[in-house]
């Protein structure tokens, strides 16, 4: 199997010209994102795929998402690699559907693609407006389960916005994927090569279910120091990962481009545990973008 290279970035949190960037960023978010694309080109990384893992826009309108699509099309042509996006908690699903996809409303933007006989799943873990926690509804879990069983021996890689739970992230459970057990029950026994997330605004790598590697990439907009569980410090930062897959094994290298030295914002956290009220895991109407039926 040939080497397959993925540039993975997340949480650019772009803003319209009239909107103040989140966390009082000192450097424009679009300049930070452009710095990533420029770095990929200047270092001749030559990715086969680029994945932007959610929180694309802050308070994004239909027009903002349409402009983002045009901008990313230019970058994809420049880097000669397709750019795939997923949604994060800060994204507006209705505006994204109309502006980025230019199609009717759909409940989720989850899809599957095959590269070099490997399956890549892009899941939509956005729960509801203004909630930081992630959630995968029963409909989407059933779709994932069905597709994993179609080719049970094929190596599968999964991208979503919210990371899975781990002991090191115990004090951040309020912001992680809330139904980890349901997802792991579906992944168990399948040929999973890795799970890749964002959302934390710092890098993390760990194992879940004793076998599945999880990697959370830092943000292209900010770094958040969460050492104090109840008081997080925010810094300007630019960061991305390069995932190299060869013979079905993924290795990840971090590419930090900038880290500010000044605290630009503080985040106060009261309850660090899982959300108390979980949606019901009941079947819903078909809502995923499933080109494979």
How far is C-alpha 5 from the geometric centre of its chain's CA atoms?
A: 17
pTM of the model: 0.92
Is position 283 within any domain?
no
Is position 275 within any domain?
no
Instruction: Specify the pLDDT at position 18.
Output: 56
When mean pLDDT is compared across 121-125, 159-163, 284-288, the lowest value belongs to 284-288
> Residues 99, 100, 103, 104: is their CA dihedral positive or negative?
negative
Looking at every residue in the chain, the average pLDDT score rounds to 91
Is position 288 within any domain?
no
Over the stretch 41-59, which tens digit does the pLDDT of each residue have?
999 999 999 999 999 999 8
The structural domain count of the chain equals 1
Is position 290 within any domain?
no
Q: Does pLDDT of 108 surpass 70? A: yes
When mean pLDDT is compared across 14-18, 46-50, 89-93, 257-261, the lowest value belongs to 14-18
pLDDT band at 279 (very low <50, low <70, confident <90, very high): confident
pLDDT band at 288 (very low <50, low <70, confident <90, very high): very low
Rounded Cα distance, 280 and 278, in Å: 6
The boundaries of the domain holding residue 262 are 4-268
pLDDT band at 7 (very low <50, low <70, confident <90, very high): very high
Is position 248 within any domain?
yes
Is position 291 within any domain?
no
What's 166's domain CATH number? 3.60.21.10
């Amino acid at each position: 199997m040939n080497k397959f290279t993925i540039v993975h970035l997340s949480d650019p949190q772009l803003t319209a010209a009239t909107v103040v960037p989140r966390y009082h960023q000192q450097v424009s978010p679009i300049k930070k994102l452009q710095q990533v694309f420029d770095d990929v080109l200047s270092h001749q990384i030559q990715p086969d795929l680029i994945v932007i893992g959610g929180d694309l826009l802050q308070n994004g309108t239909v027009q903002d998402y349409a402009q983002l699509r045009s901008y990313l099309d230019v970058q994809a042509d420049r880097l000669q690699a397709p750019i795939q996006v997923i949604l994060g908690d800060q994204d507006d699903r209705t505006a994204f559907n109309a502006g980025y996809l230019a199609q009717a409303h759909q409940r989720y933007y989850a899809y599957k693609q095959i590269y070099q006989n490997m399956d890549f799943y892009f899941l939509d873990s956005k729960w509801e407006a203004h909630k930081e926690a992630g959630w995968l509804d029963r409909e989407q879990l059933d779709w994932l389960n069905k597709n994993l069983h179609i080719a049970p021996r094929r190596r599968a890689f999964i991208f979503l916005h919210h990371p899975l739970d781990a002991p090191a992230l115990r004090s951040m459970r309020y912001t992680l994927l809330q139904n980890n057990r349901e997802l792991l029950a579906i992944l168990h026994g399948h040929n999973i090569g890795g799970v890749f997330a964002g959302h934390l605004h710092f890098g993390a790598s760990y194992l879940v279910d004793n076998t599945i590697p999880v990697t959370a990439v830092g943000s292209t907009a900010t770094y958040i120091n969460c050492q104090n569980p109840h008081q997080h410090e925010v810094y300007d930062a630019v960061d991305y990962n390069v995932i190299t897959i060869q013979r079905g094994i993924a290795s990840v290298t971090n590419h930090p481009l900038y880290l500010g030295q000044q605290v630009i914002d503080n985040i106060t956290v009261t309850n660090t545990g899982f959300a108390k009220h979980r949606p019901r895991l009941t079947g819903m109407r078909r809502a995923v973008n499933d080109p494979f039926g």
